[in-house]
Amino acid sequence: MKPTYKQVIANWGNFPVVEKEIKSEDSTKKIKEYVRNHHDIIARGNGRCYGDAALSENIFSTKRLNKFISFDRLNGIIECESGILLSDVLEVIVPQGYFLFVTPGTKFVTIGGAIASDVHGKNHHAEGCFSEYVMEFSLLNEEGDVLPCSRNQNSEKFWSTIGGMGLTGIILSAKFKLKNIESSYIRQESIKAENLDEIFKLFEESESWTYNVAWIDCLQTDKNLGRSIMMRGEHAFKHELPKKLQGNPLKLKMGSSPSIPFYFPNFVLNNLTVKIFNLLYYFRQSKKEVKSFVHYEQFFYPLDIVNDWNKIYGKSGFIQYQMVIPKESGKEGMKKILETIAKSGNGSFLAVLKLFGKNNPDAYNSFPFEGYTLALDFKVNSKLKKLVSQLDSIVEEFGGRIYLTKDSMSKSSLTNYLQNVQNPKFISMQQKRIDNN
């Protein structure tokens, strides 16, 4: 049996699927050797980016860089290798009264991926991106040297790597700050909005809340356009909790999750089923406003409860389309986008609306800037390319951009915002596609 490192591989959207070389090492010496002897390399963590960002001729998997390095329990600072998942971090820190300052909608991304994508969460308007809390990281560059990067040391590399989609090198380890919590529960208010006007008003009223997000039924039209449910939340203090939760306020919900055992056949997800799902979801909550305490798992990671949920989109896969539109024209832009989607009949099973706050000008490669962001899942089919191009035109018209971490088919004028990342060694399929367009 001769070693062959070629594997059939795709990221979370199962689109595109390619056959490429994947290699994984855990010793710095061997990783250096690998980088010196290969070209067209991209680092890949847990493959939770959606499109072609973590694909290249040679993929370096960081799955073996999976060790914690240190934990300052007094000051809430943790250091670990880049292949550690957010879920691994949470398991260690939550029982100690800490939480991640910024988390995306899945806990199954690696720390390296969180930095390379500079992920954001439901609190961007209040607390910014992941990078705000990163103190330092080590980066293996094209020469095979390990550079310590921070705001003071190799700061140019530090900022270009943040949101740099892995094009500056391989992140080996990182140190970042944690947030104090008294409980692992979120005090949540969920409020129904009948249309776009109502949901935008709710966002403006909710700016003082740490976490805000809205789920939108994107198949509604006319006076129901923008029908949605807003969920806002705060980390609950221990004394606020109902008595029965106070006994174990820092509980980690663990236990096995159900899995999707196979790719769903194509007919399962169609306009009708999406419509029914959205209807059920909207009317599940009968009152206009519901206040409750929910576990952080349910609040931040509702989809993580089902393993491999990407398989419901079938073998042809799906894309996630996430754009941001400047705040002043946010409502108008979203209206046009939602109308276009409803007209196309290409329903999105999951549509999430959020408000971004001001961007950090130092983190110039980060996706978010002040404005409204909408994320939509679309099944890949013959009509999709046309819809994406229509949506791209609207985003462009309003001066928006597309999130690279989720992109696999958008216009290059909306995705070519990275600076100082041109590198002879590290290049992804995504970057090649953008460069060639």
Partner 1 sequence: MIVLGSNSEIAQAFVEKALSAGERFSQIYLLTSNRETTEKFAKHLEVKFVQQSQIIEMDLLKPINYAVLEGLTSDLLFCATGYLGLGTAEGLYDNKNTERIIDINFAKLVPVLNFFAEKMERQRSGTMIVLSSVAGERGRQSNFIYGSAKAGLTAYLSGLRNYLFNKKVHVLTIKPGFMATKMTEGLPLNPKLTASPKQAATGIYKAYKTKKDVAYILPMWRIIMLVIKNIPEFIFKKLKL
Residues binding partner 1 (CB under 8 A): 1-5, 23-24, 26-27, 64, 67-71, 78, 80-81, 91-92
243 contact partners, CB below 8 Å, separation of at least 6? none
Q: Which is nearer to partner 1, 81 or 127 (CB)?
A: 81
Supply the minimum distance, in Å, between the C-beta of residue 255 and partner 1.
13
Q: Least distance in Å: CB of 87 to partner 1? A: 13
Cβ proximity to partner 1, 45 vs 51, nearer residue:
45
Whole-number minimum distance, CB 68 to partner 1, in Å?
A: 4
CB 42 within 8 A of CB 427: yes
> Least separation, in Å, of the C-beta of 211 and partner 1?
27
**Measured from the CB of residue 173, what is the shortest distance to partner 1 in angstroms?**
10
CA distances (Å), 99 to each of 92, 103, 129, 250, 255, in order? 10, 9, 15, 10, 20
Q: Cα–chain-centroid distance for residue 283?
A: 27
Nearest distance in Å: CB 159, partner 1:
28
- Residue 2 or 287: the one with the smaller Cβ distance to partner 1 is 2
**Nearest CB to partner 1, comparing residues 62 and 405:** 62
Nearer to partner 1, 81 or 407 (CB): 81
Which is nearer to partner 1, 88 or 118 (by Cβ)?
88
Q: Which two tokens stand for residue 199?
A: 């949901």
Rounded Cα distance between 437 and 432, Å, is 9
Q: How far is CA 312 from CA 302, 317, 409, in A?
A: 16, 9, 21
Comparing CA positions, the residue from 330, 338, 431 lying closest to residue 387 is 338
Shortest approach of partner 1 to residue 3 CB, angstroms? 3
Name the residue among 280, 296, 267 with its Cα closest to residue 105.
Answer: 296
User: Which residue do the tokens 């992804």 mark?
Assistant: 428
Give the number of other CB atoms < 10 A from CB of residue 221: 13
The distance of Cα 253 from the centroid of its chain, to the nearest Å, equals: 22
In the bound state with partner 1, the residue whose beta carbon lies nearer, of 1 and 280, is 1
- Token pair, residue 227, equals 């029908």
